[in-house]
Structure 1
Amino acid sequence: MKVLIVNQSEVRQLMPMNACMDIMETALVTLGKGQGVNPLRWATFLPEEVGGLIGMMPAYLADPPSMGLKAVTVMPGNHGTPYDAHQGAVLLFETEYGCLRAMMDATEITGIRTGAVSGVATRLLARDDADDVAILGSGVQASSHLAAMLVARTARRVRVWSRSDDNANAFSERESSRHGIEIEVMPSAKEAVEGADIICTTTSAREPVLMGEWLSP
């Protein structure tokens, strides 16, 4: 049996944000009906001298009938290298005989899917006139979440804050060009979220970067 191999660039071409949001909404509805199995991630932490972890995430959906497994490595030490901190593969199986149908690069899927879930929530829960977006962070998930927010709502204003000024400026330049909008770089997280309708926290910080008292009613 032939197995389809889908690489990172092909995932990017085949799964734009709007399509991924629709797929994720369908998957969430299926899970909500009790027609899916989505257990917690299983992870093995690597020795301290190596750092990082390897994790596995199996899942099953009854409609459409499918099951899959994501195997991923998380290597924080990759920041600043040519390699993504999150790498892995998604395996897709058919449900009648359990045969492997496809193997897909997980890096791009992880980036798009995570933002897409937030996009679905925003599309369903945010006010219709929500148009002031704040992004806290400037990495892969910041880009993914911005793309999702722009699908969910028409943004009048977009602000970004990052712990790294250089990264925030690079994000603003790159994403402004990508989406044809102006993105303001803010000097603090508090100023970034002041009066915002939609706030996306996309950092890897272990301490809070967003305080409840900063939120507008």
Structure 2
Amino acid sequence: MIVIGRDAVARHLPCDTCIALMREAMTALSRGETRQLPRGIVDLAGGRMFGTMPGALAADGVFGAKLISVFPDNFAAGRPSHQGVVALFDPNSGAPLAVLDANELTAIRTAAASAAASDVLARADARTLAILGYGEQAWRHVEAIRTVRPIASVTVWGRDTAKARAFAARVEAELGLAAEYAPSVAEAVAVADIVCAVTAASEPILHGAEVRPGTHVNLVGSGRDGPTEADVVLVAKARFFADHRDSVERQGAELRRAIAAGAVGGDHLLGEIGDVMDGRLAGRVGEEDVTIYKSLGHVVQDLASAWHVYRAALAAGTEPVDF
């Protein structure tokens, strides 16, 4: 077995590679070529959580699980909010193959999945990006989205003005993109072709009346039923797609709230993003369409990324040890 830390995960999982892996993984998921159980969440004290995500990839036979803790208060202390490991097992012997840092893996694959979804749902001429939030996922989403669209400018909103301004300045300095702070969500999305919501909001911050026609929205911040980033109006006006149908029907807060309000029916969820990527389901059908990709995160994304990193680490000379 080998242990693969954060730096090695980052080195072996560049953004463009991970985007391609996400296309393959989500297509396989929607074709029924993978195996997985619903994500389990154990509530801990103080709004903290422990999650388990087991599954298997049919193509390679590899199987494993992600074990992750979610401590939202860590961010204020300068520590990652999501921490854990991905464990991989040998498909032939059942022996453990590797344990990988899940924080770095999750950060890369979540943004890569949003980018892959944006590539099939956003307008081809999308050039403006709004980022709601300023944490690690916000940064990763800027990096990933600009890989699939020629992003020229970024607007940033966050509850802490100083942090949001600093984030915009970092985008300009390190990525060479025009970026500015927006004092409200409405101002941030007013000119956006693509919106990425990566916040810890408990109630909607993104309202349908403020999102212009033709916009694509990635809803990423809420990972369970309860916290909600987008209001019922936005959900109702959008062509709505899930990373995984069953998961979003069970835990997709925005969709569930809209259904409970009577604004949409169960058929408003058009299908999975893998079906769009595979050409079995229409994504955007008109330039004026508002589209939503609801991301909860799925174990096939983790396993596909981890398997790639594991093989790359072996090729680079990492030696297994007895376990």
Fold conserved (TM > 0.5)?
Answer: yes
Deviation at 1:124, TM superposition (A): 1.3
Q: Does 1:103 align with 2:90?
A: no
Name stretches of at least 5 consecutive residues in structure 2 with no aligned partner. Answer: 214-323
Q: Does 1:135 align with 2:121?
A: no
Give the stretch that moved more between structures: 70-79 or 200-209.
70-79
Q: Does 1:47 align with 2:49?
A: no
Deviations, residues 75-109 of structure 1 (Å, cap 9, x unaligned): 12212224211100011112122211111101111
Give the 3-state SS of the residue equivalent to 2:139 in structure 1: helix
Alpha-carbon distance in structure 2 between the residues aligned to 1:170 and 1:98: 47
Q: For 1:138-153, list aligned pairs within 5 A.
A: 138-153=134-149
Deviation at 1:182, TM superposition (A): 1.9
**Structure 2 counterpart of 1:90, from 83, 86, 89:** 86
Deviations, residues 154-189 of structure 1 (Å, cap 9, x unaligned): 112211111111111121122222212121111111
Q: Does 1:30 align with 2:60?
A: no
Match of 1:156 in 2: 152
Match of 1:75 in 2: 71
Q: Does 1:58 align with 2:54?
A: yes
Alpha-carbon distance in structure 1 between the residues aligned to 2:165 and 2:123: 29
Q: Does 1:181 align with 2:177?
A: yes
Deviation at 1:146, TM superposition (A): 1.0
**Structure 2 counterpart of 1:191, from 187, 191, 195:** 187
Q: Which has the bigger relative contact order, CA under 8 A and spacing at least 6?
A: 2
Alpha-carbon distance in structure 2 between the residues aligned to 1:83 and 1:215: 33
Give the 3-state SS of the residue equivalent to 1:128 in structure 2: coil
Match of 1:213 in 2: 209
Question: Contact 2:152 / 2:178 at 8 angstroms: preserved in 1?
Answer: no
Match of 1:119 in 2: 115
Question: Contact 2:137 / 2:198 at 8 angstroms: preserved in 1?
Answer: yes
Q: Does 1:21 align with 2:19?
A: yes
Q: TM-score, normalised by structure 2?
A: 0.64
Deviation at 1:38, TM superposition (A): 2.9
Match of 2:248 in 1: none
Deviation at 1:8, TM superposition (A): 0.8
Alpha-carbon distance in structure 1 between the residues aligned to 2:13 and 2:21: 10
Deviations, residues 51-85 of structure 1 (Å, cap 9, x unaligned): 51211111111112211211111112212224211
Alpha-carbon distance in structure 1 between the residues aligned to 2:152 and 2:169: 17
User: What amino acid is aligned across from residue 23 of structure 1 in structure 2?
Assistant: L
Name stretches of at least 5 consecutive residues in structure 1 with no aligned partner. Answer: none
Alpha-carbon distance in structure 1 between the residues aligned to 2:128 and 2:170: 19
Question: Contact 2:35 / 2:57 at 8 angstroms: preserved in 1?
Answer: yes
Alpha-carbon distance in structure 2 between the residues aligned to 1:82 and 1:47: 20
Please give the root-mean-square deviation of Cα atoms over the aligned residues, in Å. Answer: 1.3
Q: TM-score, normalised by structure 1?
A: 0.93
